[in-house]
Amino acid sequence: MVNLTEQERISLLMMKGWGDRERSYEEVVHLFNDTFRVGQTQIHKSTVSRTINRFLETSTNKDRLKSGRPKTQTTEERQGEVAQSFIENRRLSINKASQQLGMSRFSVYKNLEILKYHPYKIHLHQKLNEDDFDLRGKFSTQWKRQPA
Protein backbone atom coordinates (compact mmCIF):
# COMPACT_ATOMS: atom_id res chain seq x y z
CA MET A 1 0.00 0.00 0.00
CA VAL A 2 1.24 3.47 -0.85
CA ASN A 3 1.41 6.00 1.98
CA LEU A 4 0.16 9.35 0.78
CA THR A 5 1.13 12.67 2.28
CA GLU A 6 -1.53 15.02 3.57
CA GLN A 7 -1.11 17.25 0.52
CA GLU A 8 -1.53 14.27 -1.84
CA ARG A 9 -4.73 13.24 -0.03
CA ILE A 10 -6.12 16.75 -0.41
CA SER A 11 -5.25 16.67 -4.11
CA LEU A 12 -7.02 13.31 -4.47
CA LEU A 13 -10.18 14.73 -2.93
CA MET A 14 -10.02 17.78 -5.19
CA MET A 15 -9.45 15.61 -8.28
CA LYS A 16 -12.50 13.51 -7.39
CA GLY A 17 -14.68 16.62 -7.35
CA TRP A 18 -18.20 17.01 -5.95
CA GLY A 19 -21.75 17.21 -7.22
CA ASP A 20 -22.21 17.23 -10.99
CA ARG A 21 -18.45 17.69 -11.61
CA GLU A 22 -17.46 14.37 -10.06
CA ARG A 23 -14.88 12.08 -11.73
CA SER A 24 -14.77 8.28 -11.58
CA TYR A 25 -12.16 6.52 -9.44
CA GLU A 26 -10.28 5.34 -12.54
CA GLU A 27 -10.08 8.87 -13.94
CA VAL A 28 -8.75 10.11 -10.60
CA VAL A 29 -6.14 7.31 -10.53
CA HIS A 30 -4.85 8.18 -14.01
CA LEU A 31 -4.88 11.93 -13.33
CA PHE A 32 -3.12 11.52 -9.95
CA ASN A 33 -0.47 9.12 -11.27
CA ASP A 34 0.27 11.38 -14.25
CA THR A 35 0.55 14.42 -11.97
CA PHE A 36 2.32 13.13 -8.84
CA ARG A 37 3.67 9.63 -9.41
CA VAL A 38 5.82 9.84 -12.53
CA GLY A 39 8.62 7.29 -12.05
CA GLN A 40 7.33 6.29 -8.60
CA THR A 41 4.99 3.65 -7.22
CA GLN A 42 1.58 4.13 -8.80
CA ILE A 43 -1.61 4.24 -6.74
CA HIS A 44 -4.60 2.00 -7.38
CA LYS A 45 -8.33 2.49 -7.43
CA SER A 46 -8.62 1.00 -3.93
CA THR A 47 -6.33 3.73 -2.55
CA VAL A 48 -8.59 6.41 -3.99
CA SER A 49 -11.77 4.76 -2.70
CA ARG A 50 -10.31 4.24 0.81
CA THR A 51 -9.10 7.84 0.98
CA ILE A 52 -12.46 9.23 -0.10
CA ASN A 53 -14.44 6.91 2.20
CA ARG A 54 -12.21 7.88 5.15
CA PHE A 55 -12.89 11.55 4.40
CA LEU A 56 -16.65 10.97 4.19
CA GLU A 57 -16.68 9.01 7.49
CA THR A 58 -14.33 11.14 9.60
CA SER A 59 -14.49 14.54 7.82
CA THR A 60 -10.68 14.70 7.84
CA ASN A 61 -7.92 13.49 5.55
CA LYS A 62 -5.64 12.36 8.38
CA ASP A 63 -5.12 8.73 9.42
CA ARG A 64 -7.55 7.23 11.88
CA LEU A 65 -6.43 6.95 15.49
CA LYS A 66 -4.60 3.72 16.18
CA SER A 67 -6.40 1.21 18.36
CA GLY A 68 -4.69 -0.68 21.15
CA ARG A 69 -2.45 0.20 24.00
CA PRO A 70 -0.46 3.41 23.47
CA LYS A 71 3.31 3.20 23.47
CA THR A 72 4.64 4.96 26.55
CA GLN A 73 8.21 3.71 26.82
CA THR A 74 9.42 4.27 23.26
CA THR A 75 8.37 7.90 22.90
CA GLU A 76 10.88 10.52 21.79
CA GLU A 77 11.06 11.84 25.35
CA ARG A 78 11.99 8.42 26.76
CA GLN A 79 14.46 7.86 23.91
CA GLY A 80 16.14 11.11 24.89
CA GLU A 81 16.39 9.96 28.51
CA VAL A 82 17.94 6.64 27.49
CA ALA A 83 20.38 8.33 25.12
CA GLN A 84 21.37 10.87 27.76
CA SER A 85 22.06 8.17 30.35
CA PHE A 86 24.32 6.28 27.93
CA ILE A 87 26.09 9.47 26.83
CA GLU A 88 26.85 10.32 30.46
CA ASN A 89 28.13 6.82 31.23
CA ARG A 90 29.21 4.68 28.27
CA ARG A 91 29.94 1.71 30.56
CA LEU A 92 26.33 1.57 31.73
CA SER A 93 24.68 -1.81 31.25
CA ILE A 94 21.12 -2.26 30.03
CA ASN A 95 20.16 -3.78 33.40
CA LYS A 96 21.52 -0.81 35.37
CA ALA A 97 19.94 1.66 32.94
CA SER A 98 16.56 -0.03 33.32
CA GLN A 99 16.81 0.27 37.11
CA GLN A 100 17.86 3.93 36.97
CA LEU A 101 15.20 4.92 34.43
CA GLY A 102 12.41 2.83 35.94
CA MET A 103 11.62 0.93 32.76
CA SER A 104 11.98 -2.67 31.65
CA ARG A 105 15.19 -4.02 30.14
CA PHE A 106 13.37 -4.71 26.88
CA SER A 107 12.17 -1.08 26.67
CA VAL A 108 15.73 0.19 27.19
CA TYR A 109 16.96 -2.24 24.54
CA LYS A 110 14.17 -1.19 22.14
CA ASN A 111 15.01 2.51 22.64
CA LEU A 112 18.69 1.81 22.00
CA GLU A 113 17.73 -0.07 18.85
CA ILE A 114 15.60 2.86 17.62
CA LEU A 115 18.48 5.26 18.34
CA LYS A 116 20.80 2.94 16.37
CA TYR A 117 23.02 2.27 19.39
CA HIS A 118 24.65 -1.13 19.12
CA PRO A 119 25.37 -2.83 22.44
CA TYR A 120 28.52 -4.88 22.52
CA LYS A 121 30.63 -6.80 24.97
CA ILE A 122 34.26 -5.92 25.39
CA HIS A 123 36.54 -8.89 24.74
CA LEU A 124 40.25 -8.92 25.48
CA HIS A 125 42.36 -10.44 22.72
CA GLN A 126 45.99 -11.35 23.01
CA LYS A 127 48.18 -9.27 20.80
CA LEU A 128 50.37 -11.31 18.43
CA ASN A 129 54.05 -10.43 18.24
CA GLU A 130 56.23 -10.79 15.16
CA ASP A 131 57.78 -14.10 16.25
CA ASP A 132 54.40 -15.63 17.20
CA PHE A 133 53.69 -16.54 13.58
CA ASP A 134 56.92 -18.57 13.38
CA LEU A 135 56.22 -20.29 16.71
CA ARG A 136 52.71 -21.15 15.59
CA GLY A 137 54.08 -22.70 12.38
CA LYS A 138 56.66 -24.75 14.33
CA PHE A 139 54.01 -25.99 16.75
CA SER A 140 51.70 -27.13 13.97
CA THR A 141 54.49 -29.05 12.18
CA GLN A 142 55.54 -30.73 15.46
CA TRP A 143 51.95 -31.65 16.23
CA LYS A 144 51.53 -33.25 12.78
CA ARG A 145 54.69 -35.36 13.23
CA GLN A 146 53.64 -36.85 16.57
CA PRO A 147 52.45 -40.46 16.30
CA ALA A 148 48.81 -41.04 17.05
pLDDT tens-digit readout, 27-71: 999 999 999 888 888 999 999 999 999 999 988 888 888 888 888
**pTM for the whole structure:** 0.48
Domain ranges of the chain: 6-58, 76-114
Cα gap 131→7, rounded to integer Å:
69
| Residues near 114 by beta carbon (within 8 Å), at least 6 away in sequence | 74, 79
What is the band of 123 on the pLDDT scale with cuts at 50, 70, 90? low
Quick check: 112 and 119 in contact, CB under 8 A? yes
Cα gap 7→18, rounded to integer Å:
18
Looking at residue 103, what DSSP letter applies?
Answer: S
